[in-house]
Structure 1
Amino acid sequence: MTLKAISAKDAASLDKDLMEMGGWSLDQLMELAGLSVSQAVWKVHSLSAGKNVLVVCGPGNNGGDGLVAARHLAQYGYNPSVYYPKEGKNELYQRLKTQLQNLSVPFITDFPAALKQSHFLVDAIFGFSFGGPLRDPFPSIISQIEQSSIPVLSVDAPSSWDIQSGPPKEGPGAKFMPQALISLSAPKPCVKFYQGRHFIGGRFLSKDITDKYGLNLPAYPGIEQVLEVEVDTEGRL
């Protein structure tokens, strides 16, 4: 099945439609997105493979998805920790942070040390709204992730990648290829440059929305919040 990718502009418009016409709140969408991320982690990195999961969060909604995912991972039995070097200003992010603190999920400050102690990493730094260039402290963070041997799941897009044209030609992220990627709502164009396990998540789109944006998403089986789909050799889903 060939799935249609959705541009950054249309992804932003879709989110707006969900909230203005669909009756969804940002809290709800972020909760379901983060739940999908946590289930993707469960599918690619079992508890027996190592419980220490480092969730790296950016300042926007992608980082919020990561905060939600960390909470679910703690409930599943993992030992998540969060690196949140540039916190989002929205009051929602502070509530998500409080929820994690109430579960004794640590917010770490020594990123290199945390990388060495972790078995898996969730890259929730930048999503579909990223347009570059990278600003401090993120060039160093992405370079360290890129150079590490730790397996990574990226949320919506590998951080540092342009949503349309994929990985940068040079600098931080030029050779960043996470082991797994979860596209939220629908794939983004950069997925054609991706090689690895790919999941669709964010099970909240109505037929009106999918018809408006021409999406042909597969049906999620049963109670699943994520679905693994392949990328063919021509780069199409």
Structure 2
Amino acid sequence: MALKTLSAMNAAALDKDLMSIGAFSIDQLMELAGLSVSQAVYRVHPPKSGRRILVACGPGNNGGDGLVAARHLWHYGYKPTIYYPKQGKNDLYERLATQLKNLSIPFIEDFHSALKETDHVVDAIFGFSFSGEVREPFPAVITGLEKASVPVTSVDAPSSWNIESGPPSEGPGAEFVPEVLVSLTAPKPLVKWYTGRHFIGGRFVSPDLKEKYDLKLPEYEGIDQVVEVDGEGKVKSNI
């Protein structure tokens, strides 16, 4: 049985329902998403494997998830660095960036130099709403992720991938397969083309919304915010 997925259209509709029917704020959803990502990173790359984490953030909500994840990773004992070339100007993004600066987490402009000095990368550039061409300055960044010698964890989608049809046929991202993918709320159709370690995160969907969107979500264990699954959606043991 194939893993049940959530289309881009339904993912957008579910987000709206979470904020209307579910009464969540965007701040809450971003906080829970970023927390999920940070737990997945801790699971696959514990601090003993290297504390330097480079977080590449895009200008939208996916980038905001990355900023939240970076804050949690700092509190876990990691040393995050932020690449955020197109910083969001609204109040939410500015507050998330300020929270990191208050922890003296560095923001850098040279992604490629930082890539040579890190132990793990969080790809929080583009999420489920991405479509079309990758625009500057991100083509070279995604090419860098393709060729990275350290593990990469992607948030909701490997950046440059189409949510419905997977990796691009050519250009930046055509050969990009991160070691880890964290699907937020529910897996998207692109997981059909994904071959690495796959986590589902976002422990906030109520039973009524789960039924409305016919979601087949795994059971979370204990206080975990993520669940690792195989290609059929079966939960993998933490042991």
Specify the alignment match of 1:141 in structure 2: 141
**Structure 2: 5+ residue stretches without partners:** 235-239
- How is 1:156-195 mapped onto 2 (pairs within 5 angstroms)? 156-195=156-195
Indicate if the aligned counterparts of 1:3 and 1:215 stay in contact, CA closer than 8 A: no
Decide whether the 8 Å contact of 1:83 with 1:108 is kept in 2: yes
- TM-score, with length taken from structure 1: 0.96
8 Å contact kept, 2:167–2:175: yes
Query: Which amino acid is the alignment partner of residue 98 of structure 1?
Result: T
What letter corresponds to residue 189 of structure 1 in structure 2? P
SS in 1 for 2:171: coil
* Mapping of residues 17-96 of structure 1, within 5 Å: 17-96=17-96
How much does 1:88 deviate?
1.4
Asked if 2 retains the 8 angstrom alpha-carbon contact of 1:55 and 1:82, the reply is yes
Distance 1:231 1:216 in 2: 13
Cα displacement (A) at 1:2: 4.9
Aligned to 2:4: 4
1:150-191 CA-partner distances (Å, limit 9, x unpaired): 110000010000000000011100000000000000000000
**How far apart, CA to CA, are the structure 1 residues paired with 2:2 and 2:158?**
21
Residues 105-151 of structure 1 deviation map (CA, whole Å, 9 limit, x = unaligned): 10011111100000000000000000121111111110111112111
More divergent stretch after superposition (202-211 vs 139-148): 139-148
Matched residue of 1:181: which SS?
strand
CA distance in 2, matches of 1:222, 1:85: 37
Looking at structure 2, the residues matched to 220 and 79 of structure 1 have their Cα atoms a distance apart, in angstroms, of: 28
Give the AA of the match of 2:132. G
Residue of structure 2 equivalent to 1:115: 115
CA contact (8 A) 2:56 2:66 kept: yes
- Provide the C-alpha distance between the structure 1 equivalents of 2:175 and 2:14, rounded to a whole number of angstroms: 30
Give me the whole-angstrom Cα distance separating, in 2, the residues matched to 1:90 and 1:36. 23
Matched, 1:216 2:212: no
**2:207 pairs with 1:207:** yes
Paired residue secondary structure (1:169): coil
Aligned-partner residue type, residue 135 of structure 1 = R
Dislocated runs of 4+, deviation >4 Å: none
Indicate conservation of the 8 Å contact 1:3/1:217, yes or no.
Answer: no
Letter of the 1:193 partner, please give it: W
Asked whether the 8 Å contact 2:3–2:231 carries over to 1, the reply is: no
Distance 2:143 2:110 in 1: 15
Offset at 1:21?
Answer: 1.2
Identity of aligned residues (%): 65
Q: 2:30 is aligned with what amino acid?
A: M
Q: Contact 1:146 / 1:175 at 8 angstroms: preserved in 2? A: yes
Q: How far is 1:61 from its partner?
A: 0.3
| Matching residue of 2:97 | 97
**Structure 1 gaps, min length 5:** none
Deviation at 1:59, TM superposition (A): 0.3
* Number of residue pairs matched by the alignment: 234
**Distance across 2 between alignment mates of 1:164 and 1:5:** 10
